[in-house]
Amino acid sequence: MSETLVKPDIATQTINQLRLLANQMITKAGSGHPGIALGAAPMLYELYANQLVIDPAQPEALNRDRFVLSAGHGAALLYATLHAAGFALSAADLAAFRQPHSKTPGHPEVGVTPGVDATTGPLGQGLGMAVGMAMAEAKLHAQFPTVIDHFTYALVGDGDLMEGISHEVATLAGQQALAKLIVLYDDNQVSLDGQRARADTADNVARFASYGWDVRRITDGNDLAAIHDAIENAKLSPEPTLIAVRTTIGDSGPYAGTHQAHGTPLTPAQLNALADNLGTTLTTNFSLDEPLVTHMRNKIMQRLAQQTKPSAAELQAYLEFAQCQSPQIPTLNATAQQQAARTVGKITLQTVAQTWPQLWGGAADLASSTQTTITDSSLFAPNNRAGRNIGFGVREFGMGAVMNGIGLHGGTKVFGSTFLAFSDYMKAAIRLSALQHVPVIYVFTHDSVTVGEDGPTHQPVEQLMGLRLIPGVNVLRPGTAEEVAAAWHQALLSTDTPTVLVLSRGSLGVQGTPAQAHQAMIAGAAQIVVAPAAVVNLIATGSEVQLALAVSQQLPRPSRVISMPDLQRFLSLDQSKKAAIIPKDQAKNVIIEAGTTLGWQAVAGDDGLIFGLDHFGMSAAPQTVLEDVGLVVDVLTEKITQYLGS
C-alpha cells in the first residue's frame, strides 16, 4: 500500500522556509550562525505571526511591542522573519547579508535595519536592554495608560544566561515585577565550544524562579501550540516570564545537536539537502512563497487593527511630556559655587528635574555618595511607578544595559551613577550606548586619586582617558561650578549621543558665569579662566583647575589658565578654533590632570610638559596621595619654573 504524503500546515511551511532562507543568506555570505536559525525559527514565527503588535510600515511607532534578539548571532533568522512580516527589507537586502553598508549586518543594529529595536551581539546585554524597555513601559503606562501599553519580548540563548549580566538584570526585573516582559530561552544545551555542560550545569529555570519570575518549560521546540499557550499565559502573569524552550541547535541540518552547528555555514550541497529534509524548495532569488508571506502579513495587520488608539488629546499630553525641553542653564548661588563637583551636580540635578519631568535615574547603590537622588521624588517600584529614583543595586553593568533599554524605548531621559573607577564594570554597555546613539547620561564621581583612604582599588587612573577613547561618547570633566551646570545642560539637550559627566570630590571655584561656561563648551570644548599675556598655558580639567590657578599665582612668570572639560571636542576642532582657545603666542603648554598622561601629547605639543600619573595610587589621605604623586602647588611650581628657564 502506497504512503500518502501529508502537506505540512501553513505555519510549518512558513517556519521551514524561514529556516532555509536564513541558511541561504549565511551560505552566500560564507559566515554566520546556522544553528540558531534552524532551532529557534518556530519561536520567531510565533512571535511575528501570532503575538507582536507591530506595524511593519511604521517600525518606530510609539506603542509597538518591542522585541530584542539578545542572541544577536541569530540575525539571519531575524532578517528573514522581518522580510516575511513586511518590513522594508527586500530580497536583495537579504542577499547582501554581512556585506558592506547593507541593511543586514552580521549582528542586528538599531537604526540600520527596519524592525530592529536594539543593537545586540555582545551576549547578555540584549536581555538587559529588554528589562530597560519594560521598565520604561511600566513607568509611562502608569502616567499615559492609553498611549503606552505594550509588551517587551526577548530571545536569549545559553550564552546570554552564562554572562553575569543576566543575573544582574534578571534580579532587577523580578524585584520590579515587570509583568509585561516575556523572555523566550532557546534552551538547546549547546554553546560554541561544545555541550553547555562542559562549562555550565546551572538550572536556569530554577535560577529565574528564585529571582521572582514566572517560569515555564516546553520540552519540544517545534511544538507551536505549546509555545503559543505559554506566551498567552505569560501575558496574564503578574511577574516577568521566562519560557525555556528545549530546541535542537541546527535542527534538520547536518550538524544537528552539536556545537559545529553554531557557526559552520552549510555548503551548497548541504543547503540542498536541508531543503529536502524540510520539504521545501531552494530558490535562487532569496524569496518566500507568496501565500506564506500573505498569510503572515495578514495576521499581523488583523492584530494591529484591534489595537486601541488613544485620543488626540491623550497623545498630545504624552508628546508634550516626552519632548526634549530647553531648560535654562541653572544659576548657582555663592554657596553652591564653592562646593565639590558632585555636590554642585546634586544642586544642578534638583534644578533641572523641576523643569524636566521625564528625567529619572539612580545609582549602583551609591546615590548617597554620588549625590544623584531627585530629592522631591520617591523610589520607582512595582507599587509606585511615578517614582523617579531607580534603585539599580550593586549592578554597574546591568545598570548600563538597562539605561540603554530605557533610552531606546523613548519617552524619558535616564541617568545612572557610580564611582569613576567602577565604570570599568560597565564599559561594554557604554560602548553600546555610543554604537546605538542613545543619549543616556552617566554620572561618575570620585574621579581621581583624591578618593584617598579607600586606596588604589577605588582611585581611577586610566578610566578617564579610556572613556575618551570610545567613539561617539561626550566625556565632560568640568573644572568650575559653572561648568558643572553647563555640562548637565549639555547632557540633557543631547539627542543622539551618550554623555559621561566626571565629577570630583574636591571643591570647585567661581570663574565666569554658567552661560559663559556653556558657550565655551559648545563652541570650543574649553575656556580660558585666567587670560593675561603669558609665557605658559596651564591646561587642566576637573578639580585640577583649582590646582592650576594656585600654581599660576605662585609662578614668577605670567601664565594663562585654561579649563578643558571636553578634550575630545577640542581635538576635533580646526586649527583656527584651537588657536582661539590656546593662543599661538609662543606660550608653552603644561597639562595638569590626575590621571594617565597618555593622550595629552596632542595638546601639550612636542615641547610641552604633562603632569599626571601613570601608576596606581595608594591608601592615604587625599592630600598625602597628591603629595606622593607630585600634584601639589609647590612641586608643580618648582618644576614648571625650571621648565620655563630664565
Burial class (CB within 10 angstroms; exposed 0-12, middle 13-18, buried 19+) of 425: buried
Cell of 88: 522594508
Query: Looking at the annotation, which residues are catalytic?
Result: 396
| CA 307/CA 155 separation, integer angstroms | 24
| CA 644/CA 559 separation, integer angstroms | 11
Strand-strand pairing, 241-246 and 359-363: unpaired
Q: Counting every residue, how long is the chain?
A: 646
β-pair partners for 540: 563, 592
In the sheet that holds 441-445, the strands lie side by side as 389-391, 359-363, 413-419, 441-445, 499-502, 474-476
Q: Is the CB of residue 360 less than 8 Å from the CB of residue 374?
A: yes
Q: Is the CB of residue 393 less than 8 Å from the CB of residue 416?
A: no
In Å, how far from its chain's centre is CA 31? 27
β-pair partners for 246: 187
Please give the torsion angle defined by the CA atoms of residues 44, 47, 52 and 57, in that order, rounded to the nearest 10 degrees: 30
Nearby residues of 136 by Cβ (< 8 Å), 6 or more positions away: 405, 406, 409, 410, 411, 412
| CA 457/CA 616 separation, integer angstroms | 9
| CA 48/CA 144 separation, integer angstroms | 26
DSSP labels, 532-564: SS-SEEEEE-TTHHHHHHHHHHH-SS-EEEEE-
Strand-strand pairing, 241-246 and 214-218: parallel
**CA triple 469-473-474, angle to 5 deg:** 105
Nearby residues of 284 by Cβ (< 8 Å), 6 or more positions away: none
Burial class (CB within 10 angstroms; exposed 0-12, middle 13-18, buried 19+) of 242: buried
Distances (CA, A) of 18 to 15, 280, 585: 5, 10, 67
Gyration radius (Cα) of the chain, Å: 28
Task: Encode burial over 554-569: b for 16+ CB neighbours within 10 A, e otherwise.
Answer: ebeeebbbbbbbbbbb
- DSSP-derived 3-state class of residue 192: coil
In Å, how far from its chain's centre is CA 394? 17
| CA 188/CA 268 separation, integer angstroms | 25
| CA 521/CA 516 separation, integer angstroms | 9
User: 181 — alpha (psi -120 to 50), left (phi > 0) or beta?
Assistant: beta
Handedness of CA 71, 73, 74, 75 (dihedral sign): positive
